[in-house]
Amino acid sequence: MASRAPPPAPTYAQLRAFHAVAVARSFTGAAQALGVSQPAVSMHVRALEESYGVELLTRGRTGVATTELGAALLDTTRPMFSLEAEAAELLQRATALLRGRLRVGADGPFLIVPVLAAFRRGHPHVALTLALGNSSEVLRDLLEGRTDVAAFSDRVEDPRLFAVAAAKSAQVVIVAREHPWAARRGVRLRDLHGAPMVMREEGSVTRRAIEAALDRAAVTPDVVMELGSREAVNEAVAAGIGAGVVIEAERGHDARLVALPLLDATIEHIEYVACLEERRRLRAVKALFDLVPRLPRSPRRKRP
């Protein structure tokens, strides 16, 4: 009995279509990114799946997701198409002006917006986009290729990333100006026991850090509301719903609020700016990193 012939090797067009859909999580978005029709993208992905008798993508109400095999294939195609983008930039360096698009993600605007403003002044022909989310969302988008650069306050030891420490700040408690604590010079963790508080959503680095400190101090606040952004926390606190916690450098300049330092705890956050290791040499990415402030490195201790 003759053995079955192996399927042909996947074509560049098939892999390119799959990669675009997996990154965009949408056939429509992939078609727009590639500059082709949506039926053409669907045809290439379907041909790839049928050729090997596998399922790489699933379609649901929230968009397109990769299967376990699709996620593994995406890990393979990501460096392939990153090198393609790097080659294109290398060839474009003959032009005097930096052009193109730079996609940035951040868990807050306060560090990255001044950097983007300086970048814009130096490179006016580069289109910039900024997507805000919590640190987990920002990191996921960076690792899955939906952004080129990310700023977040959550240290991640991942060999796929190139990251620099850009800024450091501590958490403070914020209250409305009419709050009984507003005239204090600060608060202690025990003051928060049973106190009405508004908190960020699960997955927020700010929330994880304050909850760890409260657990160590055996303090349980009355969490009356969970909110999905710093702006929402500020509004809830200003409305008198409860106290909140924010990172000092990111609290903004809202005159309705008073920031109170924690007198018996220091909860510091370091803000990192990161990109995928294989993309750090791309011209636009490198130009942005040249503008990022950097914390001084701690001196190494000498061994006794």
Quote the pLDDT of residue 4: 66
Whether the predicted pLDDT of 300 surpasses 50: no
Instruction: Note the pLDDT tens digit of each residue in 151-185.
Output: 988 777 888 999 999 988 899 999 999 999 999 99
Closest CA to 151 of 202, 112, 179: 112
* Interval 127-144 mean pLDDT: 90
Instruction: Note the pLDDT tens digit of each residue in 15-50.
Output: 999 999 999 899 998 999 888 999 999 999 999 999
Cα dihedral: 287, 88, 26, 142 (round 10): -30
The band of 101, judged by pLDDT with boundaries at 50, 70 and 90, is confident
Quote the pLDDT of residue 181: 96
Quote the pLDDT of residue 2: 53
Quote the pLDDT of residue 269: 87
Instruction: Note the pLDDT tens digit of each residue in 102-121.
Output: 999 998 888 899 999 999 99
Quote the pLDDT of residue 302: 44
The band of 299, judged by pLDDT with boundaries at 50, 70 and 90, is very low
- Its pTM stands at 0.63
Quote the pLDDT of residue 95: 53
Contact 244, 199 (CB under 8 A): yes
Instruction: Note the pLDDT tens digit of each residue in 230-279.
Output: 888 999 999 999 999 998 877 778 899 999 999 999 888 889 999 999 88
Quote the pLDDT of residue 97: 52
Domains of the chain: 12-77 (1.10.10.10), 90-166+270-289 (3.40.190.10), 167-268 (3.40.190.10)
Instruction: Note the pLDDT tens digit of each residue in 57-84.
Output: 998 877 899 999 999 999 999 988 888 8
Quote the pLDDT of residue 303: 43
